[in-house]
Amino acid sequence: MNAGTLSNSKIVSRYRDRTPGSAERSRAARSIFPSGIVHDSRRFLPHPIYVERALGSRKWDVDGNEYVDYHGGHGALILGHCDQRVTRAAQRQLELGTHPAACHDLEVRWGTLVKELVPCAERVRFTSSGTEANLMALRLARACTGKKKLVRLKGHFHGWQDHAAFGVDDHFDGSAAPGLLEEIAGNVLLASSDDVGGTRALLESRDDVAAVMLEPTGGSFGVLPITVELVHMLRQVTAERGIVLIFDEVVTGFRVARGGAQAYYGITPDLATFAKILAGGLPGGAVTGPEAILERLDFEAAESKGFEKIGHQGTYNANPVCAATGIACLERVASEDVCERANRNGAELRAALNEVLAEERVPWAVYGQHSGFYFFLNPGGLDVDPRSFDPLEAGFEALKQGGKHPAAQKLRLAMSIGGVDISGKPGGLTSAVHTAADIAHTAEALRESIRMLRAEGEL
Ligand SMILES: Cc1ncc(COP(=O)(O)O)c(C=O)c1O
């Protein structure tokens, strides 16, 4: 959306009128942070909202506006905001110390829970983020295989580290994004998730592949869906060829099922990485896998087997506050129907939104699996029936356009005016604590948004 569309839009002026406090803070932030933000996904024109507090499925901005929240802490908050057990666990540990610089009971309990829940987790190593966990997974794979190449799927996100920071939203030809070395990009091969045969052929044609890394339910948690057939093929071919299969379960872990996508599919990868829900809404990551791979981090194994160990530090690995919130969250995931409720809310929300689209005769659709939902804004002007839309038929280009579609920004603004905060995909995630009232409210906000968009000729 450019400045011209902004200045002429009633939607934009209504948004500005509701959010003067956020506008003021955003102006100030621009003199501190590039673009005034600290995470690319927070870019929002004319300015993002500034949030003061949050509880359950809701959050409130500095101007007192209430929103149903579908960001869910970038996927970390399957229990919603300020879950009591998670909050108390953090408070308790804050009083006992934030950093003993020593081993502690909480890291052992946290790791035990991960082992119990995740099928491939014979051994666990904690990191501070999903980005770091993926870096370590790749390093382990290269150390074990002695091979260089990483095969990734176009559009799949694995954090902002050098091996993964291209071919997600751009640089689909595999070229290095600014600041990355061509030598690093040159060791990454990008495959297409909609080309099972081509991806198989790529893996079968080479002897230098250390690892295949993917988001197991599709890029950006299913914005780009994949078929189970592809995941089965990857498991089979990597096993045959001694390639390390890495599931990036940073979003899917403890969300699509207690044991993540691997439990949902019944397909066990060699390595899996986690973050987000893992630490209950505080920073934390982990790489998990068999002893035969994780032993590359083990002093005794290196000594007895005569290999050089991979070094690994990290000031905040398994920090006790994050471990405490992680335990509180994972204990609820393990013992309650948390994942089931989040998934059910996702299905009910998608159905409610598609009902509105159908009733209002809008040729869009809301798709997604599990607890994800995404608006398909139909860039190619297809004949779309929202109730039966199959995203796999829409193709990579159209699905990837998502947030770049001209109507996407105004849809988000209109939903925000209606008290619903969706992400830039546009879409979001449901938690276990979204309610039927939240879903009904969101459906009504969509109906009103459609009216606003029609009045501006966007539909
Ligand atoms: C699938 C996936 N992998 C990795 C990451 C990076 O995790 P972090 O932001 O904790 O570094 C993300 C973050 O959104 C993600 O969605």
> Could you say which DSSP state residue 278 is in?
G
Buried b (16+ CB within 10 A) or exposed e, 424-455: bbbbbbbbbbbeeebbebbbebbbbbbebbee
Give the domain CATH number at 409: 3.90.1150.10
Q: Are residues 192 and 161 in the same domain?
A: yes
Nearest CA to ligand 1 atom 12: 159
Number of folded domains in the chain? 2
Q: Are residues 206 and 233 in the same domain?
A: yes
| Ligand 1 atom at shortest distance from the alpha carbon of 275 | 10
Q: Are residues 77 and 88 in the same domain?
A: no
Determine the average pLDDT of the residues in 352-377.
98
302: CA distance to ligand 1 center in Å?
Answer: 30
Q: Is the pLDDT of residue 6 over 80?
A: no
Q: Are residues 383 and 368 in the same domain?
A: yes
Q: Are residues 143 and 276 in the same domain?
A: yes
Q: Are 158 and 134 in contact (CB under 8 A)?
A: yes
Nearest by Cα to 213 from 289, 263, 153, 292: 153
Q: E strands within 155-281? A: 188-191, 209-214, 244-248, 271-274
pLDDT score recorded for residue 405: 87
Q: Is the pLDDT of residue 2 over 60?
A: no
Distances 361 to 268, 307, 445 between C-alpha atoms, Å: 43, 64, 16
Chain length of the chain:
459
Q: Are residues 177 and 319 in the same domain?
A: yes
pLDDT in tens, 188-205: 999 999 999 999 999 999
Q: Are residues 94 and 210 in the same domain?
A: yes
Determine the residue of 40, 136, 276, 423 to mutate for testing ligand 1's pocket, defined as the one with the most ligand atoms within 8 A of the Cβ atom.
276
CA–CA distance, 203 with 198 (Å, rounded to integer) = 9
Determine the average pLDDT of the residues in 6-13.
88
CB atoms closer than 10 angstroms to residue 55: 13
Mean pLDDT of the chain: 97
75: CA distance to ligand 1 center in Å?
Answer: 9
- Find out whether the beta carbon of 130 lies less than 6 Å from any atom of ligand 1: yes
pLDDT score recorded for residue 5: 59
Q: Are residues 297 and 394 in the same domain?
A: no
12: CA distance to ligand 1 center in Å?
Answer: 31
Q: Is the pLDDT of residue 402 over 90?
A: no
Q: Are residues 301 and 239 in the same domain?
A: yes
pLDDT in tens, 84-141: 999 999 999 999 999 999 999 999 999 999 999 999 999 999 999 999 999 999 999 9
CA–CA distance, 243 with 269 (Å, rounded to integer) = 11
Nearest CA to ligand 1 atom 13: 159
Give the domain CATH number at 217: 3.40.640.10
- Find out whether the beta carbon of 287 lies less than 6 Å from any atom of ligand 1: no
Per-residue tokens: 270: 């060699």
Q: Are residues 118 and 246 in the same domain?
A: yes
Determine the average pLDDT of the residues in 337-358.
98
Q: Is 0.95 topped by the overall pTM?
A: yes
| List of residues 6+ apart from 6 with CB closer than 8 A | 12, 45, 46
Determine the residue of 41, 217, 251, 316 to mutate for testing ligand 1's pocket, defined as the one with the most ligand atoms within 8 A of the Cβ atom.
251
CB atoms closer than 10 angstroms to residue 311: 7
Residue 311 sits in which domain range?
84-335
- Find out whether the beta carbon of 161 lies less than 6 Å from any atom of ligand 1: no
pLDDT score recorded for residue 378: 94
333: CA distance to ligand 1 center in Å?
Answer: 20
CA–CA distance, 66 with 420 (Å, rounded to integer) = 8
Determine the average pLDDT of the residues in 11-35.
98
pLDDT in tens, 403-417: 888 899 999 999 999
Query: Residue 285: left if φ>0, alpha if ψ -120 to 50, beta else—which one?
Result: beta
Query: Which of 312, 335, 358 lies at the terminal end of a domain, its last residue?
Result: 335
* Amino acid at residue number 226: I
- Find out whether the beta carbon of 131 lies less than 6 Å from any atom of ligand 1: yes
Q: Are 447 and 356 in contact (CB under 8 A)?
A: yes
Query: Which of 335, 360, 390 lies at the terminal end of a domain, its last residue?
Result: 335
Q: Is the pLDDT of residue 53 over 60?
A: yes
Q: Are residues 71 and 216 in the same domain?
A: no
CA–CA distance, 151 with 190 (Å, rounded to integer) = 6
Determine the residue of 158, 214, 224 to mutate for testing ligand 1's pocket, defined as the one with the most ligand atoms within 8 A of the Cβ atom.
158
pLDDT score recorded for residue 8: 83
Query: Which of 313, 335, 357 lies at the terminal end of a domain, its last residue?
Result: 335
pLDDT in tens, 242-291: 999 999 999 999 999 999 999 999 999 999 999 999 999 999 999 999 99
DSSP β-ladder status, 427-429 and 123-127: unpaired
- Find out whether the beta carbon of 375 lies less than 6 Å from any atom of ligand 1: no
pLDDT in tens, 442-454: 999 999 999 999 9
pLDDT score recorded for residue 7: 72
* Amino acid at residue number 447: R
Q: Are residues 254 and 224 in the same domain?
A: yes
